[in-house]
Amino acid sequence: MRLSAARLSAAVLLLSLVACPLAAQTLRLAVYHTGLSRSGPGLLLRDIARGAEDVVTVTTALAELRPDILLLLDIDHDRDLRALNALAETLAQAGWSLPHRFAPPPNTGLATGLDLDGDGRLGEGDDAQGWGRFRGAGGMALLSRYAIVHGTDHSAFLWRDLPDARIPRVDGQLFPAPAIYDVQRLSTTGHWALTLDTPGTPLTLWAWHAGPPVFGGPHGRNRARNADETAFWLWRLATAPPPGPFVLMGNANLDPEAGAGDHAVIRALLSHSALQDPAPRAPLEPGGPALTATAHWPEPEGPGALRVDYLLPSAGLRVLDGGLIRRPGSIHALVWADLEWPPEAP
């Protein structure tokens, strides 16, 4: 049987598509601690509608950068994602659409009814699973050009279930009481594992936002929890690493050298053989030296310039470019990286 010219051309095209891999493209990822959290529920939605200055700053920076995959931190969560959807619509109106979203409820402001910090008082911010002025304050959200085909929220994982957890002890007993850790979650805000339908091959994202290692009282509870929120990923890398390319991104609230906290745990993550650290740099001010610090709390009231926000691709990925975008009036820089995509086969 003889093929017609049209069928022959179609067959040749199909064979060429099967035999040739997708042409390499650029996949741009970004993580941005927005500073958009408000003092009460509904206020962020109101300010997005009003075009508040800090909202415009955030959306302008993102529209200029045009990331394919974006992790937003410190953005208030509501049940129907009205604030997140309004922000995404504002970004689309500025010229950049990210239609796929993942934003489960964070631990911030989630009341427990228990005295989690052991100060003898109930109903305070430190008695919630994660400190917050209200339920969902300062949450996390992922926006993407590509469909999110699977999402696992590890945010209910109990602190005590992390191997070798650094839970503080007093006279050999868990502080403030053993029963507390029947409900105490590890995540201050959240820990996620997502799979995205990126061209050529899926990409796994691991995302988190840890609490600060300070304000924890005399027994160092916040310091210990902050360290374990990052140690969670070291444990996952040892026991359940992603089978393909992945990126770890978020805010560890921990600098490898300066400031408060257990610096060894973030150094262990940055030097892990499964990861690479692009270590982007930018001056804090025009003409100044390029620094890896991603946040700046001016001294003497604050701790100064610290690296706390991270975007760490897996070791086999090729990083084409990356950087930090600092905006006047913003504490945190926008951290981004360009990856060659799809990745070369190992």
Residues 77-112 pLDDT 10s: 999 999 999 999 999 999 999 999 999 999 999 999
What is the mean predicted confidence (pLDDT) over 218-240? 95
CATH architecture for the domain at 22-341: 4-Layer Sandwich (3.60)
Share of residues in the chain with pLDDT > 70 (%): 92
Average confidence (pLDDT) over 269-293: 96
The per-residue pLDDT for range 336-346, each reduced to its tens digit, is 999 999 998 76
Average pLDDT of the chain is 92
Query: Is it the case that residue 19 has pLDDT exceeding 50?
Result: no
Residue 24 pLDDT: 64
Three-class HEC string of the chain: CCCCHHHHHHHHHHHHHHHCCCCCEEEEEEEEECCCCCCCCCHHHHHHHHCCHHHHHHHHHHHHHCCCEEEEEEECCCCCCHHHHHHHHHHHHCCCCCCEEECCCCCECCECCCCCCCCCCCCCHHHECECCCCCCCCEEEEEECCCEEEEEECCCCEHHHCCCCCCCEECCEECCCHHHHHCCECCCCEEEEEEECCCCCCEEEEEEECCCCCCCCCCCHHHHHHHHHHHHHHHHHHHCCCCCCEEEEEECCCCCCCCCCCHHHHHHHHCCCCECCCCCCEECCCCCCEECCCEEECCCCCCEEECCEEEEEECCCCEEEEEEECCCCCCECEEEEEEEECCCCC
pLDDT at 21: 46
Q: Which of 18-22, 34-38, 92-96, 213-217 has the lowest mean pLDDT?
A: 18-22
pTM of the model: 0.92
